[in-house]
């Protein structure tokens, strides 16, 4: 159990039969009346965000989230297959469960599976990936003074915005949280 006075960003709690992650919290001590904790909570299973206030002495059970490294094997239609590299156990998740998490992930790369009570609810890709450019328009000489960018398609099929000097066949480093180009490799 964790009291509302000990809330911090990133902590997961169980509330009303759901699991929430604390996105924001604020201890409020008004001039009159009792103090309270104002929070913004994200439902980790469906992604909805709610705001709720707690008394500082109120207690909530802390949710245990398991993070496990698994290897992304392949996509089979709308199903994505993963393997636990320690036990060689395989699981398949649907496109709805995965969402956009594998947009920048190639086959055979490691990802983190997030689960609560044995039920997988999310997949975390690696923070940075190196991918090859498969499609982009050619850059024009002398057109770099503005710091302009152009769209490019990487080998996973995702579209990113890259500087004009990046060409087809080059490997680039991408931040998977924002989908931004970081550098050439």
- Residue 74: give its domain's CATH number: 2.40.50.140
pLDDT at 142: 61
pLDDT at 148: 78
pLDDT at 125: 87
Domain that holds residue 80: 66-124
How far apart CA 44 and CA 123 sit, in angstroms, is: 11
pLDDT at 150: 86
Question: Is 82 found in the same domain as 43?
Answer: no
**What's the whole-number mean pLDDT along residues 82-94?**
89
Residue that terminates a domain, selected from 60, 87, 102: 60
pLDDT at 144: 59
pLDDT at 9: 85
Residue that terminates a domain, selected from 91, 124, 157: 124
Question: Is 147 found in the same domain as 102?
Answer: no
Residues near 25 by Cβ (< 8 Å), separated by ≥ 6?
A: 7, 8, 9, 37, 38, 39, 40
Q: How many domains does the chain contain in total?
A: 3
Judge whether residue 64 has pLDDT over 70: yes
Among 30, 47, 117, CA closest to 38: 30
Question: Is 77 found in the same domain as 41?
Answer: no
CATH of the domain at 24: 2.30.30.30
C-alpha triplet 7, 11, 14: angle, nearest 5°: 95
Taking only the tens place, the pLDDT of each residue in 114-157 is 888 878 877 888 889 899 999 988 876 665 566 778 889 998 88
Question: Is 170 found in the same domain as 141?
Answer: yes
Taking only the tens place, the pLDDT of each residue in 5-61 is 888 888 889 888 888 888 899 998 988 888 999 999 988 877 789 999 999 889 999
Determine contact, residues 156/105, Cβ cutoff 8 Å. Answer: yes
pTM above 0.85, yes or no: no
pLDDT at 11: 86
């Amino acid at each position: 159990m964790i009291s509302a006075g000990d809330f911090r960003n990133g902590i997961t709690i169980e509330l009303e039969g759901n699991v929430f992650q604390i996105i924001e919290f604020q201890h409020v001590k008004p001039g009159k009346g009792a103090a309270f904790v104002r929070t913004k909570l994200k439902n980790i299973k469906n992604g909805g965000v709610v705001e709720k206030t707690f008394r500082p002495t109120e207690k909530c059970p802390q949710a245990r989230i398991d993070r496990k490294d698994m290897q992304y094997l392949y996509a089979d239609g709308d199903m994505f297959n993963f393997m636990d590299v320690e036990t060689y156990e395989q699981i398949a998740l649907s496109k709805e469960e995965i969402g956009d998490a594998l947009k920048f992930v190639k086959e055979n790369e490691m990802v983190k599976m997030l689960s609560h009570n044995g039920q997988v609810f999310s997949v975390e890709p690696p923070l940075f990936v190196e991918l090859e450019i498969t499609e982009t328009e050619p850059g024009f000489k002398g057109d770099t003074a503005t710091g302009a960018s152009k769209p490019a398609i990487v080998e996973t099929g995702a579209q990113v915005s890259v500087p004009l000097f990046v060409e087809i066949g080059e490997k680039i480093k991408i931040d998977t949280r924002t989908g931004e180009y970081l550098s050439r490799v």
